[in-house]
Amino acid sequence: MTLKQLHRRLIGRAGRWAAALHGAGDRLAQRRPLWMVSLAIDETNLSEGLRAACASSAMLLLGLLFDHPDFSWAAIGAFWTCLADAAGTRRMRFVSMLGFGLLSTVAGGLTALAAGHGVATAAIAVLLFSWAGALARIWGAATAQVAILAATACVVMVTHPLASMTQTAPFLGLYMFGCLFATVLSFTVWRIHPFGPSRRAIRAAYSRLAGIARDNARFLEHDAAQADAAAHGASYRSQARAALEAARVALAAVPPARAGRSALYDNLLLALSDAERIFAYLIAVTHTCEREQQRLRQDPRARRSLEVMAVLLRRLGQAVQRQPETPPLELQRRLAGCGRRLEAALGALLPLRLNVDFMELGLPRAAQLPWREAAFLALGQAWQTAKVNATPQSLSWRHAARVSLATTAGFLLVEALHIPFGYWATMATLLILQPSVSTTWPRGIERVAGSVLGAVLAVLIGLAVHTPLAISLVVFPLIVATMALRRVSYSLHVLFMTPAFVLVADYAAPASEMVYAMSRLGNNVLGCVLALLATFFLWPDREADDLDQRLAKAVSANLKYLLAVLAAGGKWDSAIARLRREAGLASNNAEQVLQRLRIERRLDRSSGVGLAALRTLPLLRRVAGSTARISLSPQAEPAPPELQRWITEVSGEIDALLRGDADAGAPGPCIADSLTPLQADAVAQVQLLRGLLREHVLAMENGAR
């Protein structure tokens, strides 16, 4: 069997495993209570997991063949190189993987040499390289990913002290061989299709849309409190908007040479256009379900239609990923039929139209420059960014200092106490520390949870696995799961990475798996504690408290969207789609700031705006739902000038209220006699929003007195 045939067979099995996993995710979601947030099961990438597992396990098998335990370092290098793979063009992927291999080899070698000359020089090396790895965040996500992994290699290699270059060369040669093997494997036998990232991103977007449909079905099935249901629905809509934005970016990243002459690209663009339209449709459906919950609970047709729609949307996403060159016309026909049945059950005119038009990405598409020009341009931009952030007042600079001091303190602590496998503590500190409390805290909790379960799994595996060959074979599925699930859940990623690293350590130096697992667990907890202490006591940077500005932008964007739809009378065009997207993004941004304030326990100190946002943002979602119903209804009519003028005046009043001006002029009531039911519904939502904000401003004034 040739390598190509083996690759195809593995990919085929990966597809079948993914289908089984997606089906399990569907069944799990149907049994899950309404309040739980779904895992992104459709973001599982088994192909990526198999590639990393093949690269790492091959190094372990070579070590077994040559009776050379140090090949475990080659396996670790191959695994880290796969982690450093930046999604995007082939050039971006090649630069990230090869750049990581070279950077981690040089920096790790210098750290190992420094460790050979004493703890003091080792601490200086850890300080410098962890600071550089954290500061690389200023150059973007891809650079930060490569740099922080290279810094991770340093804090691990510091435990392998080398006294001279004679000792360094063989050790680094094996490590670099693993990095190069993973890179070559990724660009020869296990190549990634140029449209692979965009296909996966669109599948993830359809999966999020399916989540909205399923969430509505559960909402009609359970008698949930209206406030809880609104918050939960907003969570699903926020995730769907983020997935659609990620798909836009992935499509815009396709090289012009590929996009300009490819029918496959056109099919993906049309699939994304349909996803945007389906998103607007589901927003309108959500609004109708909330308004008619009591009636619809007695009629199972709506719930069944929504459940079928969720399944069809998930299958549509899978079809786009697997066969993007063939439009899934049969699935689209069935989805349209399901939409007609749902329309009849809801008693609302909400036609679902697909294959209508192509979407405008609205993102700049840069020309593919030659290697030399692209390198000089990137270096120039990197230098300018570095100069801007080269000051202690820079948040990125302070974050890098925090990371380096905490990591170095962790290294000195484990050295002073002679804690076995202490590099796991410094590695946990390095990877957990984020720029703010609101991001460090959840990541630390996830890592501890994953490490606890991973340690238990490592002990259970260690009871049955003892020989190097058995270790090499068992590591394979563990690395598959580690890489495949890293975008699904950080806890699951750590859960499977823990036994994988424990077994690789056992491969290099056989010992008790119980000792390895418990050491890993204890050191991870220590690393989490150090990261949290550094977050709270070393220049504690919290997210900017700009909730008032975010809330004002969200309200303004949603009212602009409503006004444009009312003026157009339900006509769908690119301008309406753009305003709807801006309204959704503005609402998402405000909700994210609100969530961060809640995690940091600063909601009660946010100038009173936090309490208003808690009540206003769900109302904004209802305004968007009412607007979406008008935009999709074939019976929508252009609003009379009086209504448009009233919306404009109320928008100005609300803007003044958000600035704390209780004396803002209040326009008279809207004359609802000549309004259609859809227009009257929108007016009712706006009046609720207006009354809530005016009540809040008056309460704040009375409290100040």
pTM of the model: 0.77
Helix, strand, or coil (residue 544): coil
CA nearest to 566, candidates 557, 574, 552, 576: 576
Query: What integer pLDDT is reported at residue 14 of this predicted model?
Result: 43
Give start and end residues of each alpha helix (H) in 222-262.
226-252, 256-259
Are 84 and 145 spatial neighbours (Cβ–Cβ below 8 Å)? yes
Regions of the chain with pLDDT less than 70: 1-43, 87-89, 192-194, 223-232, 256-262, 356-371, 374-375, 505-514, 516, 540-546, 570, 599-611, 660-665, 671-673, 699-705
Q: Taking the chain, what is the end-to-end CA distance rounded to the nearest angstrom?
A: 83
- At 32, the amino acid letter reads R
Helix, strand, or coil (residue 666): coil
CA nearest to 134, candidates 541, 463, 504: 541
pLDDT tens digit sequence for 305-335: 999 999 999 999 999 888 888 888 899 999 9
Query: What integer pLDDT is reported at residue 15 of this predicted model?
Result: 44
Query: What integer pLDDT is reported at residue 266 of this predicted model?
Result: 82
Are 600 and 652 spatial neighbours (Cβ–Cβ below 8 Å)? no
Q: How far is CA 201 from the centre of its chain?
A: 11
Are 474 and 513 spatial neighbours (Cβ–Cβ below 8 Å)? no
- Biggest CA–CA distance in the chain, Å, is 90
CA distance linking residue 89 with residue 93, whole number of Å? 6
Query: What integer pLDDT is reported at residue 260 of this predicted model?
Result: 58
Are 20 and 159 spatial neighbours (Cβ–Cβ below 8 Å)? no
- At 283, the amino acid letter reads I
Query: What integer pLDDT is reported at residue 166 of this predicted model?
Result: 79
Query: What integer pLDDT is reported at residue 345 of this predicted model?
Result: 86
Structure tokens at 298: 């007695």
C-alpha dist (Å) from residue 305 to 118, 204, 296, 415: 69, 21, 12, 62
| CA-based R_g, the chain, Å | 28
Query: What integer pLDDT is reported at residue 257 of this predicted model?
Result: 65
Q: Where does residue 260 fall: left (phi above 0), alpha (psi -120 to 50 degrees), or beta otherwise?
A: alpha
